[in-house]
């Protein structure tokens, strides 16, 4: 086993928390080793817009070495961490390298929680990574093209999309797909073709956006219905098959695309770490964001269960992760200087969710001032643009949003993943994946190189995109 020299701080994961911690520490003169299996930082709240071709991959994925270009104190390594030893604050990668730190920060994110639903892991499309978004986008294109070429596919559910989970991710995804059908499919194919496409939103609880007020929930359900989303609330998912979803009440929805927005859990890395796990397999961290019983080990972002000053669990939001990353860096500086740490204080700026064109809900600040419609829509755009990493990404997103809003044109409609595209065709038909002009596979040039188990979907879905 190869071993690298010891570092001041080793950070695993380049999400909101990991990036924020690395930036803050390096500004204070601390040397940081940043490890991630991808060579880019991805903006998860907008992945559904990549999947529906509203924006491009380049708008949500920024190379890590670009973020830290010229910063000699942050050493970026593209490596997948296979195991963690919290006792000596070391991690070992799949290629056999071991890295040790005076301080270890685990911000490795999470993965989809399928709640032991039969067939969900094999036949659904989560939305937690750039690759997930690329797979979903290609699968939906394959389903549309197959139904256009093979009429019998329509009767077999080829034009149905089921979104599981009524949290912000599920609501935003269902709304975006429905509007793509209404405004884009009708132009790229025909209005008649778009009329027979259906989007279903399923959740075992009887409402959507569970963290929001009744007023926001009612507005959201009304707007989703107006753009054609068929709500199946109060009933969970019993089984997912390649060509259908069976609900707990026996209802069968024929479909060839199922989006899983039903919740998150900690990844295998934490499961095998020896750290004490709580809800969702995440680590119940101390108020100062350290792991109980392991001095010098911090756990942040979707890998942690973080509480506020009153002991209430904070949601898995990008804003929580970003603030926790900055606060952890502050405490790490105290550790290195021999000073006491301080409990994390979260500045609650509110929650928000996009529903559709000109339609969104926002509940701003601790007192949850409610906004709906165009004002909330504009606020959502502004907040997410600010959170994007880099000026080029912000400009690209704004240009894409404007182009889409005024023209209904989607220049990002391309096949990122030929394998997922081909799987959208009837499996009895040997349909080749699309080929590039030179004979190669078509691709884009901007793509970067335990909760309680249940047979139903997770209540409320996940809330990663509901942030202010």
Distance separating alpha carbons of residues 464 and 167, to the nearest angstrom: 9
Phi, psi of 62 (to 5 degrees): -120, 125
Distance separating alpha carbons of residues 141 and 437, to the nearest angstrom: 19
Distance separating alpha carbons of residues 189 and 144, to the nearest angstrom: 9
Regarding beta strands 97-106 and 7-12, do their DSSP bridges make them parallel or antiparallel, or are they unpaired? Answer: parallel
Largest separation between any pair of C-alpha atoms in the chain = 71
Burial class (CB in 10 A: 0-12, 13-18, 19+), 31: middle
Distance separating alpha carbons of residues 38 and 173, to the nearest angstrom: 24
Distance separating alpha carbons of residues 109 and 457, to the nearest angstrom: 21
Q: Give yes or no: 172 in active site.
A: yes
For the record, the structure tokens of 124 come out as 């659904």
User: How far is residue 206 CA from its own chain's centroid?
Assistant: 23
Instruction: Specify the DSSP element, H or E, that contains 226.
Output: helix 214-226
398 C-beta neighbours (distance < 10 Å), count: 16
Distance separating alpha carbons of residues 183 and 191, to the nearest angstrom: 9
- SS3 label, residue 335: helix
Buried b (16+ CB within 10 A) or exposed e, 349-362: ebbbbbbbbebbbb
Distance separating alpha carbons of residues 155 and 3, to the nearest angstrom: 58
The number of C-alpha atoms within 13 Å of 454 and in the hemisphere containing its C-beta is: 17
Catalytic residue among 172, 179, 363, 393: 172
In order of 112, 271, 301, the CA distances from 266 in angstroms are 9, 7, 10
In order of 159, 189, 253, 422, the CA distances from 150 in angstroms are 11, 14, 20, 14
Buried b (16+ CB within 10 A) or exposed e, 59-91: bbbbbbeebbeeeebbbbebbebeebebeebbb
- Its sign, for the CA torsion 166, 204, 221, 252, is positive
- Positions annotated as catalytic residues are 172
């Amino acid at each position: 086993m190869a071993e690298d020299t010891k570092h001041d701080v080793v950070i695993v994961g380049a999400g909101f928390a990991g990036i924020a911690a690395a930036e803050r520490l390096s500004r204070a003169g601390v040397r940081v080793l940043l490890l991630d299996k991808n060579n880019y930082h991805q903006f998860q709240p907008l992945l559904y817009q990549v999947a529906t071709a509203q924006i491009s991959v380049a708008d949500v994925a920024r190379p890590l070495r670009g973020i830290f270009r010229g910063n000699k104190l942050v050493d970026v390594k593209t490596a997948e961490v296979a195991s963690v030893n919290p006792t000596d604050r070391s991690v070992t990668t799949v290629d056999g390298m071991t890295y040790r730190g005076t301080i270890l920060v685990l911000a490795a994110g999470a993965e989809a929680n399928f709640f032991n639903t039969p067939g969900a892991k094999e036949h659904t499309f989560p939305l937690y990574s750039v690759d997930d978004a690329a797979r979903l986008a290609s699968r939906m294109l394959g389903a549309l093209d197959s139904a256009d070429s093979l009429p019998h596919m329509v009767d077999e559910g080829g034009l149905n999309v089921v979104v599981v989970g009524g949290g912000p991710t599920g609501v935003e995804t269902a709304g975006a797909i429905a509007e793509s059908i209404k405004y884009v499919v009708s132009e790229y194919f025909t209005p008649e073709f778009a009329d027979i496409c259906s989007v279903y939103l399923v959740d075992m609880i009887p409402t959507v956006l569970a963290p929001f007020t009744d007023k926001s929930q009612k507005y959201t359900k009304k707007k989703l219905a107006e753009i054609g989303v068929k709500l199946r609330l109060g009933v969970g998912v019993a089984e997912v098959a390649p060509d259908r979803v069976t609900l707990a009440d026996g209802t069968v929805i024929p479909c060839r695309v199922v989006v899983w927005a039903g919740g998150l859990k900690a990844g295998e890395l934490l499961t095998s770490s020896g750290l004490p796990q709580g809800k969702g397999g995440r680590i119940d961290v101390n108020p100062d964001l350290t792991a109980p019983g392991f001095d010098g080990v911090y756990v942040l972002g979707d890998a942690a269960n973080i509480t506020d000053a009153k002991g209430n669990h904070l949601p898995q939001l990008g804003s929580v992760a970003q603030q926790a990353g900055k606060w952890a860096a502050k405490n790490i500086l105290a550790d290195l200087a021999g000073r006491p740490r301080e409990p994390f204080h979260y500045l609650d700026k509110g929650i928000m969710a996009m529903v559709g064109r000109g339609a969104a809900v926002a509940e701003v600040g601790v007192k949850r001032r409610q906004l709906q419609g165009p004002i909330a829509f504009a606020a959502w755009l502004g907040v997410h643009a600010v959170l994007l990493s880099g000026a080029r990404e912000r400009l690209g997103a704004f240009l894409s949003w404007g182009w889409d809003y005024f023209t209904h044109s989607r220049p990002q409609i391309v096949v990122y993943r030929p394998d997922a595209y081909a799987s959208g065709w009837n499996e009895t038909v040997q349909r080749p994946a699309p080929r590039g002009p030179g004979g190669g596979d078509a691709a884009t040039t901007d793509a970067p190189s335990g909760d309680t188990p249940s047979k139903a979907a997770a209540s409320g879905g996940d809330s990663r995109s509901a942030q202010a």
